[in-house]
Amino acid sequence: MPLQIFIIMKLDLNDPCWCGSGKKYKKCHRTFDMETEKYRREGYIILPQKILKNAHDIEGIKAAGVITRGILDMMAGEVKEGMSTQKIDDLVYEYTKDHGGIPATLNYHGYPKSCCTSINEVVCHGIPSADRFLKHGDIVNIDITTILHGYFADSSRMYCIGDVSDEAKQLVDVSQQCLQVGIDQVKPYTRLNNIGDAIDTYANRFGYSIVRDLCGHGIGKEFHEDPEVVHYAQPKKKGVLMVPGMVFTIEPMVNQGTYKCNFLKDGWTVETQDKKLSAQWEHTLVVTESGYEILT
């Protein structure tokens, strides 16, 4: 028996709601349960209620997002030609600790650093190094995830080092536009796959491709939660239904050439297979009753 039917049958209208709000079920999630059950019958995937975040959770994620955003803002005035990516990592660690947070990537499944620095053909998960220096014309993605009081917030931005080529600048700009195009699709009781459909269509207008081997993800109380958020088109697939309280990242990886990637022997770094440039921007957001709110 579907989970939400079970709840509707078992909870009295005056019982406390399953979400933990303290409100009566009839005043809280009863209408939500009935609405999502309708979509389930139409073939949509309705994820378990445990992934949904309440108002307290959202405030916790948002507070972690303040630190994440602060680091990325700081980097706009710090990254420059001749700087090592290890220096970037040092700044991330110091800022995070000074603001009461924890760098989520540090020691995550053995990852050795406090952020990811992905340069030029590196799609994502580039490992900071004292031997890798930023050069004039480079484009670099800095990816930050912060833990604060048990809540996670994840975001990344692109930075241009000196005067980059016109084609590199266009890729950086279009990848940022792809993020916004994806965010614009976030509405309650619609397909999660609308995000990937819109991003892929937009990127293809410029001759770019969208990475398929990696995706966005749910986040909040853990680094990686459901749902998976694909950034390429799946127009015939209903998939997951977006509902209020769902928190996830949108982080399209946009390649100049093929979408295919190589995963390096270090176990983390991902590069474009054809060694052409890649760019990425990312936000964490929550689905609201009327649309979305960016938390980073």
* pLDDT tops 70 at residue 1: no
User: pLDDT digit string (tens) for 150-190?
Assistant: 999 999 999 999 999 999 999 999 999 999 999 999 999 99
> What does the pLDDT read at residue 245?
96
Percentage of the chain beyond pLDDT 90 is: 85
Domain residue extents for the chain: 3-41, 50-294
Written out in words, the top-level CATH class of the domain with range 50-294 is alpha beta
pLDDT of amino acid 19: 77
For 243-276, the pLDDT digits (tens) are 999 999 999 999 999 999 999 999 999 999 999 9
Close Cβ partners of 28 (under 8 Å, ≥ 6 residues apart): 17, 19, 21
What residues have CB less than 8 Å from 56, skipping those under 6 apart? none
State the pLDDT at residue 10: 65
Q: Averaged over 225-239, what is the pLDDT?
A: 95
Question: What pLDDT score was predicted for residue 18?
Answer: 73
> Dihedral, CA atoms, 271, 215, 56, 108, nearest 10 degrees?
-40
Quote the CA–CA distance of 259 and 186 in Å, as a whole number: 24
Q: What is the mean pLDDT of the chain?
A: 94
Interacting residues of 190 by C-beta distance below 8 A, sequence separation 6+: 241, 242
pLDDT of residue 179: 98
Predicted local confidence at residue 236, as pLDDT: 87
Q: Which residues contact 6 (CB under 8 A, 6 or more apart)?
A: none
Rounded to an integer, the average pLDDT of 56-63 is 97
Distance CA 52, CA 143 (A): 24
Q: Is the pLDDT of residue 33 over 50?
A: yes
Q: Please report which confidence band the pLDDT of residue 7 belongs to, taking 50, 70 and 90 as the band edges.
A: very low
Residues 6+ apart with CB under 8 A from 285: 183, 186, 247, 248, 249, 250, 292, 293, 294, 295, 296
* Residue pLDDT, tens place only, 86-115: 999 999 999 999 999 999 999 999 999 999
pLDDT(199) > 70? yes
Q: What is the pLDDT of residue 4?
A: 41
CA distance 92 to 98: 10
pTM: 0.92
Indicate the range of 45-59, 62-76, 81-95, 114-128 predicted with least confidence. Answer: 45-59
